[in-house]
Amino acid sequence: MATEEDSVVFGFRRIFATILVANSEARSEVRRARFVLKFLNTDPLDDLIFQRLEFSLINLGVPQSFLNGYDSDMIKNLLKMLLNSIEQQCCSYVGIFVMVHDACCCYNIVNNAMWLYCDELIPLREFVNTMACNSRKHSLPAGATTLERFKIKDDNTEDKEEKDKCIICFEEFSCDVIAARMPCSHVCHYHCILKWFVKSSTCPMCRFQCNCVL
């Protein structure tokens, strides 16, 4: 159970939150954390609340590249969803579900007191995935919005160089595959660069910092 020492104070109404995080990798376990939020008509995007949620998610295995930055705003969205739940449904207990995939991170907030008391029961990874994806909210890794997506076509003579090989997996581009051009002009498979950006927001070829482009 969450204790007073685990509380983040920004008012006096208590919201008990349970975070459940799963990873799409095989054999990964669902991880859980709890904390208490206290507030009263105060901005929930307060730095202290923001930092506490970020710290909890990182400790549960969520890559930081999904959480905040120029084009990844998962924490801000979660806090806005939390405020919306509180205002519309007057809830005091919420479950925060997060599913980490190799190229994106899905998340959702569910109002239900059962997640506060499930000490013995940790849901299956498949259940967390379903709950997290129900909201259709997801975060792409930092740098993703700087990409120019396009489809490789046989008759596109301008893209002969791009049709050669992906700079990440080194496989040749096939017709109609979705590719991505970075701000530095290097090209790769769209899915490959998203997976790369989870670990690093730099170009794998020239190390250009893609998430700094405005």
Question: Do 159 and 131 sit in the same domain of this protein?
Answer: no
SS3 at position 111: strand
Q: Quick one: pLDDT at residue 43?
A: 53
Residues of the chain short of pLDDT 50, as ranges, are 1-11, 157, 162, 213-214
Question: Are residues 106 and 35 both part of a single domain?
Answer: yes
CB of 104 closer than 8 Å to CB of 139: yes
> Do residues 117 and 204 both lie within one domain?
no
Half-sphere exposure of residue 172: CA atoms within 13 angstroms, side-chain side: 6
* Structural domain of 128: 4-139
Same-domain pairing of 122 and 68: yes
Is the Cβ–Cβ distance between 66 and 143 less than 8 Å?
A: no
Burial label for 99, CB within 10 Å (0-12, 13-18, 19+), is buried
Name the domain boundary from 139, 158, 184. Answer: 139
111 with 76, same domain: the answer is yes
Domain termination site, one of 94, 114, 139: 139
67 in the same domain as 151: no
List Cα–Cα distances, 17 to 2, 36, 178, in angstroms. 9, 6, 39
In contact, 195 and 205? CB cutoff 8 Å: no
83 and 130 inside one domain: yes
- Summarize pLDDT for 62-111 with one digit per residue, the tens: 988 888 655 567 888 888 888 777 776 666 788 899 999 888 889 998 88
Both 101 and 194 in a single domain? no
Give the pLDDT confidence score for residue 157 in this predicted structure.
Answer: 46
Give pLDDT, residue 11. 47
Whether 95 and 182 share a structural domain: no
Q: Are strands 93-100 and 13-23 parallel, antiparallel or unpaired?
A: parallel
pLDDT of residue 120: 56
The answer on 190 and 157 residing in a single domain is yes
The last residue of a domain, from among 116, 139, 162: 139
Q: How many domains does the chain have?
A: 2
Examine the domain organization and report whether 50 and 134 are in the same domain.
yes
Angle of CA points 70, 30, 7, to nearest 5°: 65
Predicted TM-score (pTM) of this structure: 0.75
Q: Is 123 in the same domain as 56?
A: yes
Q: Minimal CA–CA distance to 139: which of 172, 103, 93? A: 103
Half-sphere exposure of 203 (CA within 13 A, CB side): 21
Supply the pLDDT for residue 69: 59
Paired residues of 106 in beta bridges = 99, 138
